[in-house]
Amino acid sequence: GELPEEWLLSEKETSSGMLQRLENESKYPLKFPLLGVSLVLFGKGLSDALITIIKVNIDFPGVSLADQFMGVPILAIDAVCVVVGAALASSTWKTMKD
């Protein structure tokens, strides 16, 4: 029961493809954690900002767009989260493409 020649070749190719993928993952071990963090930041910033804006629009007591946390406007913090999240995601994606 000899194996056909093309089977042997494809087996070699698939294992080298796997090795290549593992190599890439070890080259950028932080790719997926970083993308995860950036998604969380982006999502949290966006949802917090939206919630604040909605609360202000429905005249929710004690909420205003000028609300501050440690002297920094809360909307600015949310905006920074969104921007940092987006920037982190895009730079992670660019540098760790292959």
- Please write the tens of the pLDDT for every residue from 49-81: 888 888 888 887 777 767 777 777 778 888 888
pTM of the shown model: 0.45
pLDDT of residue 39: 86
Three-class HEC string of the chain: CCCCHHHHHHHHHHHHHHHHHHHHHHHCCCHHHHHHHHHHHHHHHHHHHHHHHHHHHCCCCCCCCCCEECCEEHHHHHHHHHHHHHHHHHHHHHHCCC
pLDDT above 90 coverage of the chain, percent: 0
